Amino acid sequence: MGARKAKGRKSEITLEELADEGSLAAALTCEECSTLFPLDARTACDRCFGPLSVVYGHGPLRGTSPDEVLAGRAPGLWRYLELLPPVSPASRERVPLGPSPLRPAPRLARALGLRELWLKEDLALPSGSFKDRPAGFAVAYARDLGYPAVGCASTGNLAAATARAATLSGLPAWTFVPAGLPEAKLLPVRIFGGGIVEVEGTYDDANRVAQVLADEDRLGLVNINLRPYYVEASKTLAFEILEERHWDPPAVWGIPLGSGALLSATFRALMQVQDIGWLDSSEEELPRLVGSQPEGCAPIAEAFRKGSEEIVPVAHPETIAESLAIGNPASGYDALGAIRKTGGAADAPTADEVRWALREAARLEGVWSEPAGGTVLATFKRLVDQGTLDRSDSAVAFLTGAGWKTPPVWEGQDLGPRLRVSARERSLTLPDLAAFPSLAGAAAHGEV
Protein backbone atom coordinates (compact mmCIF):
# COMPACT_ATOMS: atom_id res chain seq x y z
CA MET A 1 0.00 0.00 0.00
CA GLY A 2 1.40 3.41 -0.90
CA ALA A 3 1.99 6.23 1.54
CA ARG A 4 -0.70 8.36 -0.07
CA LYS A 5 -1.86 11.18 2.14
CA ALA A 6 -5.50 11.92 2.72
CA LYS A 7 -5.90 15.35 1.16
CA GLY A 8 -7.28 18.57 2.44
CA ARG A 9 -7.31 18.04 6.17
CA LYS A 10 -5.33 19.94 8.76
CA SER A 11 -3.94 16.78 10.28
CA GLU A 12 -3.19 14.55 7.35
CA ILE A 13 -3.45 10.83 7.84
CA THR A 14 -1.58 8.16 5.93
CA LEU A 15 -3.28 5.00 4.85
CA GLU A 16 -0.74 3.08 6.91
CA GLU A 17 -1.87 4.98 9.98
CA LEU A 18 -5.46 4.20 9.13
CA ALA A 19 -4.60 0.54 8.75
CA ASP A 20 -3.09 0.67 12.21
CA GLU A 21 -6.56 1.41 13.51
CA GLY A 22 -7.35 -2.26 13.25
CA SER A 23 -8.78 -2.78 9.79
CA LEU A 24 -7.62 -5.84 7.90
CA ALA A 25 -8.60 -4.32 4.55
CA ALA A 26 -5.74 -4.74 2.11
CA ALA A 27 -6.77 -3.47 -1.32
CA LEU A 28 -9.54 -2.97 -3.82
CA THR A 29 -10.07 -5.63 -6.44
CA CYS A 30 -12.12 -5.62 -9.63
CA GLU A 31 -14.92 -8.17 -9.45
CA GLU A 32 -14.70 -8.67 -13.22
CA CYS A 33 -10.99 -8.82 -14.07
CA SER A 34 -9.38 -9.13 -10.58
CA THR A 35 -7.07 -6.13 -11.06
CA LEU A 36 -5.87 -4.78 -7.69
CA PHE A 37 -5.97 -1.11 -6.67
CA PRO A 38 -5.03 0.81 -3.52
CA LEU A 39 -7.72 1.80 -1.04
CA ASP A 40 -8.42 5.20 -2.58
CA ALA A 41 -11.46 7.00 -3.99
CA ARG A 42 -12.28 5.10 -7.16
CA THR A 43 -15.58 4.55 -8.89
CA ALA A 44 -14.80 1.52 -11.04
CA CYS A 45 -12.04 -0.57 -12.52
CA ASP A 46 -9.73 1.38 -14.83
CA ARG A 47 -9.44 -1.62 -17.11
CA CYS A 48 -12.98 -2.87 -17.65
CA PHE A 49 -15.31 -0.54 -15.71
CA GLY A 50 -16.16 -3.47 -13.43
CA PRO A 51 -17.26 -2.90 -9.82
CA LEU A 52 -14.62 -2.87 -7.10
CA SER A 53 -14.71 -4.61 -3.76
CA VAL A 54 -12.45 -4.58 -0.72
CA VAL A 55 -10.23 -7.58 -0.04
CA TYR A 56 -8.99 -8.42 3.45
CA GLY A 57 -6.16 -10.34 4.99
CA HIS A 58 -7.88 -12.30 7.73
CA GLY A 59 -4.71 -13.91 9.06
CA PRO A 60 -4.58 -12.13 12.43
CA LEU A 61 -8.15 -13.19 13.26
CA ARG A 62 -7.80 -16.87 12.40
CA GLY A 63 -7.77 -19.00 15.49
CA THR A 64 -9.57 -16.33 17.50
CA SER A 65 -13.10 -16.43 18.84
CA PRO A 66 -15.52 -13.56 18.24
CA ASP A 67 -16.11 -13.23 21.98
CA GLU A 68 -12.42 -12.69 22.59
CA VAL A 69 -12.03 -10.14 19.77
CA LEU A 70 -15.22 -8.19 20.32
CA ALA A 71 -15.29 -8.23 24.12
CA GLY A 72 -15.47 -4.82 25.72
CA ARG A 73 -16.31 -2.93 22.55
CA ALA A 74 -19.29 -0.62 22.31
CA PRO A 75 -22.19 -2.09 20.33
CA GLY A 76 -22.86 -0.79 16.84
CA LEU A 77 -21.33 -0.10 13.47
CA TRP A 78 -17.72 0.40 14.52
CA ARG A 79 -17.55 -2.73 16.66
CA TYR A 80 -16.41 -4.81 13.68
CA LEU A 81 -13.53 -2.56 12.61
CA GLU A 82 -11.21 -5.38 11.50
CA LEU A 83 -13.79 -6.47 8.95
CA LEU A 84 -14.33 -3.01 7.48
CA PRO A 85 -12.09 -0.57 5.59
CA PRO A 86 -9.96 1.70 7.79
CA VAL A 87 -11.49 4.86 9.25
CA SER A 88 -9.75 7.12 11.75
CA PRO A 89 -11.08 7.19 15.32
CA ALA A 90 -11.82 10.91 14.97
CA SER A 91 -14.12 10.30 12.01
CA ARG A 92 -15.69 7.22 13.61
CA GLU A 93 -16.56 9.07 16.78
CA ARG A 94 -18.57 11.63 14.85
CA VAL A 95 -20.99 9.03 13.47
CA PRO A 96 -22.01 6.59 16.20
CA LEU A 97 -24.63 4.10 15.09
CA GLY A 98 -26.69 1.16 16.14
CA PRO A 99 -27.13 -1.69 16.64
CA SER A 100 -30.72 -2.19 15.49
CA PRO A 101 -33.13 -4.55 17.26
CA LEU A 102 -33.45 -8.21 16.33
CA ARG A 103 -36.59 -9.67 17.79
CA PRO A 104 -38.75 -12.74 17.42
CA ALA A 105 -42.08 -12.39 15.60
CA PRO A 106 -44.05 -15.55 16.46
CA ARG A 107 -47.48 -14.31 15.38
CA LEU A 108 -46.25 -13.05 12.02
CA ALA A 109 -44.36 -16.32 11.58
CA ARG A 110 -47.65 -18.19 11.86
CA ALA A 111 -49.32 -15.85 9.37
CA LEU A 112 -46.55 -16.50 6.86
CA GLY A 113 -46.43 -20.24 7.53
CA LEU A 114 -42.98 -20.33 9.10
CA ARG A 115 -41.92 -22.07 12.30
CA GLU A 116 -39.80 -19.18 13.47
CA LEU A 117 -39.35 -15.61 12.25
CA TRP A 118 -36.99 -12.88 13.40
CA LEU A 119 -37.26 -9.25 12.40
CA LYS A 120 -34.06 -7.25 11.95
CA GLU A 121 -35.43 -3.78 12.48
CA ASP A 122 -33.10 -1.36 10.74
CA LEU A 123 -36.19 0.80 10.33
CA ALA A 124 -35.43 1.87 13.91
CA LEU A 125 -32.12 3.52 12.97
CA PRO A 126 -31.93 7.32 13.32
CA SER A 127 -32.86 8.37 9.78
CA GLY A 128 -35.38 5.56 9.45
CA SER A 129 -33.49 3.07 7.29
CA PHE A 130 -30.51 0.74 7.07
CA LYS A 131 -28.82 3.37 4.92
CA ASP A 132 -27.54 4.92 8.14
CA ARG A 133 -24.94 2.15 8.08
CA PRO A 134 -23.34 2.61 4.64
CA ALA A 135 -23.90 6.37 4.57
CA GLY A 136 -22.41 6.86 8.03
CA PHE A 137 -19.42 4.77 7.11
CA ALA A 138 -18.81 6.36 3.70
CA VAL A 139 -19.13 9.91 5.02
CA ALA A 140 -16.56 9.09 7.72
CA TYR A 141 -14.33 7.67 4.99
CA ALA A 142 -14.86 10.78 2.86
CA ARG A 143 -13.86 12.92 5.83
CA ASP A 144 -10.60 11.01 6.15
CA LEU A 145 -9.96 11.41 2.41
CA GLY A 146 -10.48 15.15 2.71
CA TYR A 147 -13.54 15.59 0.55
CA PRO A 148 -14.95 19.10 1.00
CA ALA A 149 -18.53 17.90 0.51
CA VAL A 150 -20.46 14.65 0.22
CA GLY A 151 -23.65 13.50 -1.43
CA CYS A 152 -25.45 10.59 -3.01
CA ALA A 153 -27.92 9.49 -5.63
CA SER A 154 -30.94 8.17 -3.83
CA THR A 155 -34.50 6.93 -3.93
CA GLY A 156 -34.96 8.78 -0.63
CA ASN A 157 -33.64 6.70 2.24
CA LEU A 158 -29.99 7.18 1.43
CA ALA A 159 -30.49 10.92 1.01
CA ALA A 160 -31.71 11.25 4.58
CA ALA A 161 -28.95 9.02 5.93
CA THR A 162 -26.25 10.90 4.02
CA ALA A 163 -27.55 14.27 5.19
CA ARG A 164 -27.54 13.02 8.78
CA ALA A 165 -24.02 11.58 8.61
CA ALA A 166 -22.77 14.71 6.87
CA THR A 167 -24.07 17.08 9.49
CA LEU A 168 -22.53 14.92 12.22
CA SER A 169 -19.24 14.95 10.32
CA GLY A 170 -19.27 18.68 9.67
CA LEU A 171 -19.59 18.35 5.90
CA PRO A 172 -22.17 19.79 3.49
CA ALA A 173 -24.31 17.22 1.64
CA TRP A 174 -25.99 17.30 -1.76
CA THR A 175 -28.48 14.59 -2.58
CA PHE A 176 -29.72 13.71 -6.08
CA VAL A 177 -33.17 12.16 -6.21
CA PRO A 178 -35.77 11.46 -8.86
CA ALA A 179 -38.34 14.26 -8.94
CA GLY A 180 -41.68 13.46 -7.36
CA LEU A 181 -40.61 11.54 -4.25
CA PRO A 182 -43.02 11.73 -1.31
CA GLU A 183 -42.34 14.70 0.95
CA ALA A 184 -41.97 12.27 3.84
CA LYS A 185 -38.77 11.01 2.20
CA LEU A 186 -37.38 14.46 1.47
CA LEU A 187 -38.28 16.21 4.71
CA PRO A 188 -35.64 14.36 6.78
CA VAL A 189 -32.97 15.42 4.28
CA ARG A 190 -33.89 19.04 4.80
CA ILE A 191 -34.22 18.70 8.57
CA PHE A 192 -30.70 17.25 8.72
CA GLY A 193 -29.50 20.19 6.62
CA GLY A 194 -28.85 18.52 3.27
CA GLY A 195 -29.42 20.05 -0.15
CA ILE A 196 -31.69 18.31 -2.64
CA VAL A 197 -31.36 18.15 -6.42
CA GLU A 198 -34.53 16.71 -7.93
CA VAL A 199 -33.78 15.19 -11.33
CA GLU A 200 -36.66 14.94 -13.75
CA GLY A 201 -36.63 11.24 -14.50
CA THR A 202 -36.04 7.92 -12.76
CA TYR A 203 -33.53 6.98 -10.06
CA ASP A 204 -31.17 5.85 -12.81
CA ASP A 205 -31.36 9.33 -14.33
CA ALA A 206 -30.58 10.92 -10.97
CA ASN A 207 -27.66 8.57 -10.65
CA ARG A 208 -26.26 9.53 -14.04
CA VAL A 209 -26.57 13.26 -13.40
CA ALA A 210 -24.88 12.85 -10.02
CA GLN A 211 -21.99 10.95 -11.57
CA VAL A 212 -21.39 13.61 -14.18
CA LEU A 213 -21.34 16.38 -11.57
CA ALA A 214 -19.32 14.42 -9.00
CA ASP A 215 -16.41 14.00 -11.33
CA GLU A 216 -16.07 17.74 -11.73
CA ASP A 217 -17.03 19.11 -8.34
CA ARG A 218 -14.96 16.86 -6.08
CA LEU A 219 -18.06 15.64 -4.41
CA GLY A 220 -17.74 12.48 -2.34
CA LEU A 221 -20.83 10.63 -3.52
CA VAL A 222 -21.18 7.83 -1.04
CA ASN A 223 -22.76 5.31 -3.39
CA ILE A 224 -20.78 6.29 -6.48
CA ASN A 225 -17.14 7.28 -6.05
CA LEU A 226 -17.05 5.92 -2.48
CA ARG A 227 -19.17 2.91 -3.30
CA PRO A 228 -16.57 0.19 -2.64
CA TYR A 229 -16.36 1.37 1.00
CA TYR A 230 -20.00 2.37 1.34
CA VAL A 231 -21.25 -1.14 0.59
CA GLU A 232 -18.92 -2.69 3.13
CA ALA A 233 -20.77 -1.15 6.06
CA SER A 234 -23.95 -3.00 5.12
CA LYS A 235 -22.16 -6.16 6.28
CA THR A 236 -22.65 -5.02 9.88
CA LEU A 237 -26.31 -5.91 9.66
CA ALA A 238 -25.27 -9.54 9.18
CA PHE A 239 -22.59 -9.35 11.87
CA GLU A 240 -25.17 -8.09 14.36
CA ILE A 241 -27.58 -10.94 13.56
CA LEU A 242 -24.82 -13.52 13.87
CA GLU A 243 -23.54 -12.14 17.15
CA GLU A 244 -26.98 -11.79 18.68
CA ARG A 245 -27.88 -15.35 17.69
CA HIS A 246 -24.57 -16.58 19.15
CA TRP A 247 -23.28 -17.52 15.68
CA ASP A 248 -26.15 -19.96 15.13
CA PRO A 249 -28.22 -17.92 12.67
CA PRO A 250 -31.67 -18.55 11.20
CA ALA A 251 -31.53 -20.79 8.13
CA VAL A 252 -33.20 -18.35 5.73
CA TRP A 253 -32.40 -14.64 5.40
CA GLY A 254 -34.88 -12.45 3.48
CA ILE A 255 -33.35 -9.35 1.98
CA PRO A 256 -34.87 -6.67 -0.26
CA LEU A 257 -33.17 -6.10 -3.60
CA GLY A 258 -32.76 -2.62 -5.04
CA SER A 259 -29.26 -2.37 -6.44
CA GLY A 260 -28.52 -5.78 -4.89
CA ALA A 261 -25.78 -4.25 -2.73
CA LEU A 262 -27.26 -5.25 0.63
CA LEU A 263 -27.64 -8.90 -0.31
CA SER A 264 -24.14 -8.95 -1.82
CA ALA A 265 -22.72 -7.37 1.31
CA THR A 266 -24.54 -9.90 3.47
CA PHE A 267 -23.02 -12.73 1.48
CA ARG A 268 -19.54 -11.23 1.79
CA ALA A 269 -20.05 -10.86 5.54
CA LEU A 270 -20.96 -14.54 5.82
CA MET A 271 -17.97 -15.55 3.72
CA GLN A 272 -15.67 -13.41 5.87
CA VAL A 273 -16.69 -14.91 9.19
CA GLN A 274 -16.67 -18.36 7.65
CA ASP A 275 -13.14 -17.79 6.38
CA ILE A 276 -12.02 -16.56 9.80
CA GLY A 277 -13.63 -19.57 11.45
CA TRP A 278 -16.19 -17.69 13.51
CA LEU A 279 -19.05 -19.31 11.59
CA ASP A 280 -18.61 -23.05 11.63
CA SER A 281 -20.18 -24.09 8.34
CA SER A 282 -19.40 -25.06 4.77
CA GLU A 283 -20.72 -22.94 1.90
CA GLU A 284 -23.61 -25.38 1.52
CA GLU A 285 -24.56 -24.75 5.13
CA LEU A 286 -24.53 -20.96 4.97
CA PRO A 287 -27.89 -19.29 5.54
CA ARG A 288 -29.95 -19.35 2.35
CA LEU A 289 -30.31 -15.82 1.00
CA VAL A 290 -33.74 -14.96 -0.36
CA GLY A 291 -33.94 -11.83 -2.50
CA SER A 292 -37.13 -9.83 -2.88
CA GLN A 293 -38.06 -7.31 -5.53
CA PRO A 294 -41.47 -5.81 -6.15
CA GLU A 295 -43.46 -6.63 -9.23
CA GLY A 296 -42.82 -3.79 -11.67
CA CYS A 297 -39.11 -3.58 -10.94
CA ALA A 298 -37.70 -7.07 -10.62
CA PRO A 299 -34.75 -7.55 -12.97
CA ILE A 300 -32.77 -9.73 -10.51
CA ALA A 301 -35.75 -11.85 -9.46
CA GLU A 302 -36.71 -12.30 -13.11
CA ALA A 303 -33.24 -13.56 -13.98
CA PHE A 304 -33.42 -15.98 -11.06
CA ARG A 305 -36.87 -17.27 -11.98
CA LYS A 306 -35.82 -17.80 -15.59
CA GLY A 307 -32.55 -19.44 -14.63
CA SER A 308 -30.86 -16.78 -16.74
CA GLU A 309 -27.30 -15.50 -16.47
CA GLU A 310 -28.37 -12.14 -17.84
CA ILE A 311 -30.07 -9.38 -15.88
CA VAL A 312 -32.22 -7.30 -18.19
CA PRO A 313 -32.59 -3.74 -16.87
CA VAL A 314 -36.04 -2.24 -16.40
CA ALA A 315 -36.32 1.10 -18.20
CA HIS A 316 -39.31 2.48 -16.31
CA PRO A 317 -39.83 0.92 -12.88
CA GLU A 318 -43.41 1.04 -11.61
CA THR A 319 -43.82 -0.03 -8.02
CA ILE A 320 -45.09 1.14 -4.64
CA ALA A 321 -41.68 0.13 -3.24
CA GLU A 322 -39.85 3.28 -4.28
CA SER A 323 -36.70 2.39 -2.38
CA LEU A 324 -36.39 -0.67 -4.64
CA ALA A 325 -37.18 1.16 -7.90
CA ILE A 326 -33.72 0.69 -9.39
CA GLY A 327 -34.09 -0.57 -12.92
CA ASN A 328 -30.41 -1.17 -13.57
CA PRO A 329 -29.08 -2.81 -10.39
CA ALA A 330 -25.36 -2.18 -10.00
CA SER A 331 -24.76 -5.21 -7.78
CA GLY A 332 -27.33 -7.36 -9.54
CA TYR A 333 -24.93 -10.01 -10.80
CA ASP A 334 -23.24 -10.25 -7.42
CA ALA A 335 -26.58 -10.65 -5.68
CA LEU A 336 -27.83 -13.22 -8.17
CA GLY A 337 -24.65 -15.23 -7.71
CA ALA A 338 -24.96 -15.09 -3.91
CA ILE A 339 -28.58 -16.26 -4.02
CA ARG A 340 -27.62 -19.23 -6.16
CA LYS A 341 -24.48 -20.12 -4.20
CA THR A 342 -26.40 -20.29 -0.93
CA GLY A 343 -29.29 -22.31 -2.37
CA GLY A 344 -31.61 -19.35 -1.85
CA ALA A 345 -34.41 -17.99 -3.99
CA ALA A 346 -35.85 -14.76 -5.35
CA ASP A 347 -39.35 -13.60 -6.12
CA ALA A 348 -41.35 -10.49 -6.86
CA PRO A 349 -44.72 -10.18 -5.11
CA THR A 350 -47.46 -7.85 -6.26
CA ALA A 351 -48.32 -4.52 -4.63
CA ASP A 352 -51.39 -6.09 -3.00
CA GLU A 353 -49.31 -8.90 -1.53
CA VAL A 354 -46.80 -6.36 -0.20
CA ARG A 355 -49.56 -4.25 1.40
CA TRP A 356 -51.07 -7.37 2.98
CA ALA A 357 -47.71 -8.32 4.47
CA LEU A 358 -47.12 -4.80 5.76
CA ARG A 359 -50.46 -4.76 7.53
CA GLU A 360 -49.92 -8.19 9.01
CA ALA A 361 -46.56 -7.05 10.39
CA ALA A 362 -48.13 -3.90 11.80
CA ARG A 363 -51.11 -5.60 13.42
CA LEU A 364 -49.44 -8.78 14.64
CA GLU A 365 -46.05 -7.46 15.67
CA GLY A 366 -46.50 -3.70 15.95
CA VAL A 367 -43.92 -3.00 13.25
CA TRP A 368 -44.57 -0.45 10.52
CA SER A 369 -42.20 -1.10 7.65
CA GLU A 370 -41.92 0.60 4.31
CA PRO A 371 -42.75 -1.58 1.28
CA ALA A 372 -39.22 -2.95 0.93
CA GLY A 373 -39.71 -4.94 4.15
CA GLY A 374 -43.20 -5.93 3.07
CA THR A 375 -41.71 -7.25 -0.14
CA VAL A 376 -39.51 -9.59 1.90
CA LEU A 377 -42.40 -10.82 4.04
CA ALA A 378 -44.66 -11.31 1.03
CA THR A 379 -41.89 -13.26 -0.69
CA PHE A 380 -41.61 -15.55 2.35
CA LYS A 381 -45.37 -16.19 2.12
CA ARG A 382 -45.13 -16.97 -1.59
CA LEU A 383 -42.19 -19.30 -1.17
CA VAL A 384 -43.85 -21.16 1.72
CA ASP A 385 -47.05 -21.54 -0.29
CA GLN A 386 -45.04 -22.81 -3.27
CA GLY A 387 -43.10 -25.25 -1.09
CA THR A 388 -39.78 -23.55 -1.85
CA LEU A 389 -39.45 -22.73 1.85
CA ASP A 390 -40.24 -25.38 4.39
CA ARG A 391 -42.77 -24.65 7.13
CA SER A 392 -40.19 -25.87 9.61
CA ASP A 393 -37.70 -23.21 8.50
CA SER A 394 -36.48 -20.44 10.75
CA ALA A 395 -36.05 -17.13 8.97
CA VAL A 396 -35.00 -13.55 9.50
CA ALA A 397 -36.52 -10.67 7.54
CA PHE A 398 -34.51 -7.51 6.92
CA LEU A 399 -36.88 -4.61 7.59
CA THR A 400 -34.75 -1.92 6.03
CA GLY A 401 -36.93 1.19 6.17
CA ALA A 402 -39.64 2.81 8.26
CA GLY A 403 -43.26 2.89 7.17
CA TRP A 404 -43.76 6.55 8.08
CA LYS A 405 -41.68 7.46 5.05
CA THR A 406 -44.15 6.11 2.54
CA PRO A 407 -47.66 7.50 3.08
CA PRO A 408 -48.54 7.31 -0.66
CA VAL A 409 -48.54 3.51 -0.37
CA TRP A 410 -51.75 3.78 1.65
CA GLU A 411 -53.59 6.45 -0.32
CA GLY A 412 -57.03 5.20 -1.31
CA GLN A 413 -56.70 2.04 0.78
CA ASP A 414 -59.35 0.88 3.22
CA LEU A 415 -57.61 1.29 6.56
CA GLY A 416 -60.59 0.89 8.84
CA PRO A 417 -62.91 3.32 10.56
CA ARG A 418 -62.10 6.97 11.09
CA LEU A 419 -64.92 8.84 12.73
CA ARG A 420 -65.46 12.58 13.16
CA VAL A 421 -67.94 13.73 15.74
CA SER A 422 -69.18 16.91 17.27
CA ALA A 423 -67.46 18.15 20.43
CA ARG A 424 -70.86 17.73 22.12
CA GLU A 425 -71.28 14.12 21.02
CA ARG A 426 -72.70 12.01 23.89
CA SER A 427 -74.35 8.97 22.27
CA LEU A 428 -71.81 7.51 19.85
CA THR A 429 -71.75 3.70 19.61
CA LEU A 430 -68.27 2.60 18.63
CA PRO A 431 -68.33 -0.11 15.95
CA ASP A 432 -66.67 -3.49 16.41
CA LEU A 433 -63.25 -3.08 14.78
CA ALA A 434 -63.01 -6.80 14.02
CA ALA A 435 -66.08 -6.47 11.82
CA PHE A 436 -64.25 -4.31 9.32
CA PRO A 437 -62.96 -6.25 6.29
CA SER A 438 -59.70 -4.28 6.29
CA LEU A 439 -58.93 -5.52 9.79
CA ALA A 440 -59.95 -9.11 9.24
CA GLY A 441 -56.44 -10.28 8.29
CA ALA A 442 -55.04 -9.84 11.77
CA ALA A 443 -58.23 -10.83 13.54
CA ALA A 444 -58.37 -14.10 11.63
CA HIS A 445 -55.32 -15.29 13.52
CA GLY A 446 -57.15 -14.86 16.79
CA GLU A 447 -54.29 -12.87 18.18
CA VAL A 448 -55.58 -9.32 18.19
DSSP one-letter string for 221-251: ETTTTTHHHHGGGGHHHHHHHHHHTTT---S
Cα separation, 264 vs 239, in Å, equals: 14
Phi, psi of 395 (to 5 degrees): -140, 155
Q: Is 70 in the site for another protein (CB under 8 A)?
A: no
Which of 95, 159, 330, 336 is in the footprint of another protein by CB under 8 A? Answer: 330
| 425-to-149, 422, 430 alpha-carbon distances in Å | 57, 5, 12
CA distances from 280 to 84, 273, 402 (A): 21, 9, 33
State which residue, 269 or 330, has the beta carbon closest to another protein. 330
Of the pair 42, 110, the CB lying nearest another protein is at: 42
- Verify binding: residue 151, another protein, rule CB under 8 A: no
Q: Using CA atoms, how far apart are residues 32 and 49, in angstroms rounded to an integer?
A: 9
Residue 137 neighbours by CB under 8 Å, 6+ apart: 77, 84, 87, 95, 229, 230, 232, 233
Q: Which is nearer to another protein, 204 or 347 (CB)?
A: 204
Q: Does 358 bind another protein (CB under 8 A)?
A: no
227 part of the interface to another protein, by CB under 8 A: yes
Closest distance of CB 156 from another protein, Å: 12
Exactly one of 260, 317, 349, 403 binds another protein (CB under 8 A); which one?
260
Q: Please give the Cα distance from 66 to 80 (Å, whole number).
A: 10
Question: How many residues can be counted in the chain?
Answer: 448
Residue 218 sits in the site that holds another protein (CB under 8 A): no
- Cα angle 87, 89, 94; round to 5: 95
210 counts as binding another protein under rule CB under 8 A: yes
401 binds another protein per the rule CB under 8 A: no
Closer to another protein by CB, 88 or 207: give it: 207
- Each residue 22-61 as x (binds another protein by CB under 8 A) or -, in order, gives ----------x---------xxxxxxxxxxx---------
**Least distance CB 361 / another protein (angstroms):** 23
φ and ψ of 432, to 5 deg = -75, 115
- Residues in touch with another protein (CB under 8 A): 32, 42-52, 153, 158, 201, 203-205, 207-208, 210-212, 215-216, 221, 223-225, 227, 258-262, 313, 315, 326, 328-331, 333
